Structure 1
Amino acid sequence: MSIQSPDDIAGLKRVGQVVVHVLQTMQAALKPGITTAELDEIGREVLAQYNAQSAPIFFYDYPAATCISVNHEAAHGIPGKRVVQDGDLVNIDVSAILDGYVADTGASIPVGEVSPVAKKLCAATQEALLAALKVAKAGNRMDEVRTAVEKVARKNRFNIIENLAGHGVGRHIHE
């Protein structure tokens, strides 16, 4: 998105705060025994508290308020009857639209004791996030952010999935 005014920055900050709160609330509820549908309902309720809408529903008629992927599901899992187990690695992806502005956030969260590979993956994603934040500056291209993430992934012997390594937001879910 090309920022045109201070109102754009304020709008992006507001919706950004909403998606962070939704993610944190869902993360706090993530325990063995909860279904992904129940977790999604928590996200839906928090979005409603802010009068925000699920961006995947708004733009794509997605069947849930959030995307929840478990273990080997790469991304954009549809919440349902699946019961979260101890040892699962759960990815929660929250995208919202508020007052015409869109924000998107997500995290992979280990539930209980996860495998050594899952622990390594979580550590590598945190390292990649920090590397991305160093280059995610005004005037830099998204490709520079992707490259920073990919370097960390390769260093840790992981790969990125093309077209899932990040995207811009603003007035649309994928800019």
Structure 2
Amino acid sequence: MASVCSSPGCEMEAKLRCPTCVKLTLPDDGSYFCSQDCFKRSWKLHKLHHVLSLGKNSGKLLDDREKQKSAFANFPYTGKLRAEYVSPMSKVPDHIQKPDYSETGIPISEEKSKRARVIVQLDEDEIAGMRKVCRLAREVLDVAGHMVKPGITTDEIDQAVHRACLERDSYPSPLNYYNFPKSVCTSVNEVICHGIPDARPLEDGDILNIDITLYHGGFHGDLNETYVVGNVDEAGKKLIKSSYDALFAAIEMGMNRVVRSGLGFVNGLLTQCLNDMQRSQGPCFASSEGELKRLQNQTDIQSYVRTVDTGSINCSTQPPIFLIIARTKP
């Protein structure tokens, strides 16, 4: 017996079956349509058939794109940006040296050293290794930066970064770090930092931060840079410049005192500089990152300043402060 089209009001003979119904092995009833047009017109109603048939808590609803979209359906967004489809995690060949979290997602050596609060004095060979990975990271950041333009997706940038890392016999450090699904962090507009690359095309006027980290020879090289996409308004340009100026003002003030005073001194300088700029230029919000040493000796420097200008955020590029520290005698 021939099936009848499942589109409401249509009684035409149907021979086309919904591919999602096939994939989910649902019963034939209610899954056939007479044409693509009928299928498209009925999709919003028909996809409820998948939910009802499987049960609300089955975890097998729709395809990957629909599942990801539904996960953010009630998310309290603070701006216009919306989450888009995130493609599957990329693979890394066996011959590439990997950090301890590459398979489990848990950076065991980092967690063991979180309370150490020690900056290790590197020897000459280690400094050379750190210089090398930082240079490689800069090369990969340039690859990503040259791709920035309206219409390109951050997922495409991620794929290019992944390939560039492998070409340099390096592991893309963000990949599977606490289960992070991508090889680079891309933060658009109101995303503070560590954004996940997805299928959203960049738009004219966007601000994009690209955060690159490579693992090579036992060291992580970490740097990031903020790019303008097409024509950015004056507020966006001011935000980027304020963050950049605050960072380098803090570096200049603290260059000769960091080793004696410790990491809290760096945070204090950044906060002081940002507060000065807020008073003179208006509110801004910034964060900074240092170059990473060995996983066994993780140290993190961050500075956050509250802002009344919701959505104005930026991460600025950080020179290798830790490399300078490692070469300075206390």
Do both proteins adopt the same fold according to a TM-score greater than 0.5, normalized to the shorter chain?
yes
Question: Higher helix share goes to which structure?
Answer: 1
1:129 matched to 2:247? The reply is: yes
Segment drifting more, 107-116 vs 70-79: 107-116
Match of 1:169 among 269, 292, 296: 292
Alignment deviations for residues 1-50 of structure 1 (CA, whole Å, 9 cap, x no partner)? 41331111011101101111111111111011100000111111111111
Q: Report if aligned partners of 1:132, 1:149 keep a CA contact under 8 Å in 2.
A: yes
Match of 1:143 among 237, 261, 264: 264
Residue equivalent to 2:168: 50
Give the CA deviation at 1:55.
1.2
Q: How many pairs are equivalent?
A: 173
Residue equivalent to 1:103: 221
Structure 2: state its 5+ residue gaps: 1-118, 300-330
In our comparison, the structure showing a higher alpha carbon Rg is 2
Q: What SS class does the counterpart of residue 17 from structure 1 fall into?
A: helix
* Distance in 2, Cα, partners of 1:107 & 1:168: 13
Alignment deviations for residues 81-118 of structure 1 (CA, whole Å, 9 cap, x no partner)? 01101100001111111011011111111112112221
Structure 1: state its 5+ residue gaps: none
Residue equivalent to 2:105: none
Q: Report if aligned partners of 1:168, 1:174 keep a CA contact under 8 Å in 2.
A: no
Match of 1:154 among 263, 275, 278: 275
Q: Report if aligned partners of 1:67, 1:75 keep a CA contact under 8 Å in 2.
A: yes
Q: Which amino acid aligns with 1:68?
A: T
Q: What SS class does the counterpart of residue 174 from structure 2 fall into?
A: helix
Identity of aligned residues (%): 27
Q: Which amino acid aligns with 1:145?
A: V
Residue equivalent to 1:76: 194
- Using CA pairs under 8 Å that are at least 6 residues apart, name the structure with larger relative contact order, 1 or 2: 1
Summarize the Cα distance change of 1:85–1:159 in structure 2 as closer, same or farther, 3 Å threshold. closer
Q: Return the TM-score normalized by structure 1.
A: 0.88
Q: Report if aligned partners of 1:26, 1:43 keep a CA contact under 8 Å in 2.
A: yes
Q: What SS class does the counterpart of residue 175 from structure 2 fall into?
A: helix
Q: Report if aligned partners of 1:3, 1:9 keep a CA contact under 8 Å in 2.
A: no
Q: Report if aligned partners of 1:124, 1:152 keep a CA contact under 8 Å in 2.
A: no
Q: Report if aligned partners of 2:130, 2:220 keep a CA contact under 8 Å in 1.
A: yes
Residue equivalent to 1:60: 178
CA RMSD of aligned residues (A): 2.1
Q: Report if aligned partners of 1:142, 1:168 keep a CA contact under 8 Å in 2.
A: no
Q: Which amino acid aligns with 2:259?
A: G
* Distance in 2, Cα, partners of 1:59 & 1:142: 24
**Runs of 4+ more than 6 Å apart:** none
